[in-house]
């Protein structure tokens, strides 16, 4: 896929979803980081319900550390994988407090050095807070990129690198638009192909017709 064609595809998706945005509720960089950690294998809607309670009690690194593992686990239980997520949140809180005064830094290497925080989480945070980082490749972005031929990689990291090259300084818009496109139109099951603005580029449809 060349850059010009990739951007024409993105332009059509942006027109279809002009209000694409991060659907996690947050009021600070720290809250965003916690919410993104909780969103792994969980819907944004459920995370927002949980963080409404959580951030009312602990919305800073200091307060999160005061909350502790046991109480944190009970609050975030509905998000699944609560033990692992609580450990990640508390480790992140400790590192951010000690090394960055409680503020989430614009530092990809620092974020990914925290156990439990991978490339996707770091990229979402950096894109949302600082308009930086690469394109966060979640299940929606991975599916859409493959169906539209935007990327050939067979892992999220490879797809991330390909998309970041294609979209350059449009990575934030690309991520948000592709997420909305995959979540609400190009769904994993029963995609709304008749409503698709870029169906002429869809490899998925071509494969469906050939079967």
What is the per-residue pLDDT across 138-165, written as a single tens digit (0 to 9) for each? 999 999 999 999 999 999 999 999 999 9
For the domain made up of 3-20+135-210, give the CATH fold: Endonuclease Iii, domain 2 (1.10.1670)
CATH code of 29-130, in short, is: 1.10.340.30
Q: How confident is the model at residue 1 (pLDDT cuts 50, 70, 90)?
A: confident
Q: Where in the chain is CATH 1.10.1670.10? A: 3-20+135-210
pLDDT at position 106 over 60:
yes
Residue-wise pLDDT for 41-79, tens only, equals 999 999 999 999 999 999 999 999 999 999 999 999 999
Give the Cα separation of 49 and 56 in Å (integer).
11
Give residue 116's region: left, alpha or beta (phi > 0; psi -120 to 50). left
pLDDT at position 211 over 50:
no
Q: Where in the chain is CATH 1.10.340.30? A: 29-130
For residue 51, what pLDDT is reported? 98
Active site residues: 120, 138
Give the Cα separation of 122 and 137 in Å (integer).
11
Q: Read off the pTM.
A: 0.91
Token pair for 66: 């005061």
């Amino acid at each position: 896929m060349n850059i010009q064609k990739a951007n024409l595809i993105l332009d059509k998706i942006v027109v279809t979803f002009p209000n694409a945005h991060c659907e996690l509720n947050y009021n600070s960089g720290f809250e965003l980081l916690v919410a993104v950690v909780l969103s792994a294998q969980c819907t944004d809607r459920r995370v927002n319900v949980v963080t409404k309670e959580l951030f009312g009690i602990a919305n800073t690194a200091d307060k999160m550390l005061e909350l502790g593992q046991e109480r944190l686990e009970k609050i975030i239980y509905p998000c699944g994988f609560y033990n692992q997520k609580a450990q990640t949140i508390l480790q992140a809180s400790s590192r951010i407090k000690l090394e960055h005064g409680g503020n989430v830094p614009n530092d990809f290497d620092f974020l990914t050095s925290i156990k439990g925080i991978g490339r996707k989480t770091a990229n979402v945070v950096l894109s949302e807070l600082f308009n930086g980082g690469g394109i966060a490749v979640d299940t929606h972005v991975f599916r859409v990129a493959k169906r539209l031929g935007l990327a050939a990689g067979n892992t999220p990291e490879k797809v991330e690198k390909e998309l970041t090259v294609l979209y350059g300084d449009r990575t934030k818009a690309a991520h948000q638009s592709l997420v909305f496109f995959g979540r609400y139109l190009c769904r994993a099951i029963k995609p709304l192909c008749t409503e698709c603005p870029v169906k002429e580029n869809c490899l998925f449809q071509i494969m469906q017709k050939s079967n």
